[in-house]
Each structure stands twice: as C-alpha cells, then as structure tokens.
Amino acid sequence: MRERDLDQLMVIEQYSFPTPWKRSMYEQDLHANSRSRFYVVSHEDTGELAAYIGSWFIHDEAHVGTIATKSEYRGRRFAEQLLAYTALQGLNEGLQYVILEVRVTNNAAIRLYERLAFSQVGLRRGYYSDTGEDALLMTCHDLGGLASRLTINEGH
C-alpha cells in the first residue's frame, strides 16, 4: 500500500465499517510503524483499488486489524488472496500464525476464515465500541497452507 491508495481506500472504508478508521491512522502506520504491513489489490487495467488488508507483525504473529473489499469486487477471492499474501510475508519473516477479530454477525467473513483454516479460539465480549458487539478471535497456524492459496502475482 502506498499513500496514493488512501483516497480510494477511504471510500471502501466508509462503506465497509460502521466506525471506519481515520485516514491519519493509515498514514501513521504507513510512515511510522515498522511493524505494519498493508497490502492492496488493484484492478490490473484501471488501477482502481479493489481490496486491502492491514496487519501488524508482532513477535510470532500477524495480527490482521482490517480487511475490506470494494462491493463490486466481492466474490472474486481478493480477501483470500490478501490473507494468503500476508501469510507468505509472515513466513518470510518467521511468524507462526495469523490472528484476527471478526464481528460475531459477519457470517460471510467467518465462513471465509473457516474455509482458510482459521479456528475460533476465543470471544471478546463487547469488543466493538460502536455497537457493543462481540468479536470472535480466530487464528490460523497453517501459514504454509494459507500462503499456498496465493494466485495473484505481486504487482497486479
């Protein structure tokens, strides 16, 4: 991800989350956080931003903090590809697992994560301050298996 992606990212962010991250949060991670890893998928011909993921590589984990796909690109496996790419980068940096939180009502995301070998390992009650909704805590310890799902070439 580059700063030039932020205008398009913020549009996706606004439509994807009840309480979107502020642009300054992305800028901070891009410029001043050596542990952050933010990746995007852009349309090959138009350069339009289709999906993004943001994570932090801390100790032995990749903690996914955000992932979203623009509505017209949903169903094209971009979120899967971003998770696979994150896993590949995590393997390259010696990480052991990927961890994330997901709203208990986000059934589509939960199904995706389960299909990608994530397991539910906990519940964070009232995790989402905007709605008080609980979050499932999910992990994937098979980074190699997850990374093997990567089919998008870097740079596309």
Catalytic entry in 85, 113, 127, 154: 113
Backbone angles phi, psi at 154, to 5 degrees: -60, 140
Q: At what angle do helices 23-32 and 6-16 cross, to 10 degrees?
A: 130
- Give the C-alpha distances (Å, rounded to integers) separating 9 from 63, 95, 104: 20, 27, 24
**Residue 113 is a catalytic residue:** yes
Residue 140 and residue 119 in contact, taking contact as beta carbons nearer than 8 Å: yes
Catalytic entry in 101, 114, 127, 133: 101
Q: Which residues of 74-92 are buried (b: 16+ CB within 10 A; e: fewer)?
A: eeebbbbbbbbbbbbbbee
- Give the C-alpha distances (Å, rounded to integers) separating 147 from 3, 19, 50, 87, 112: 26, 30, 20, 5, 15
Active site residues: 101, 113
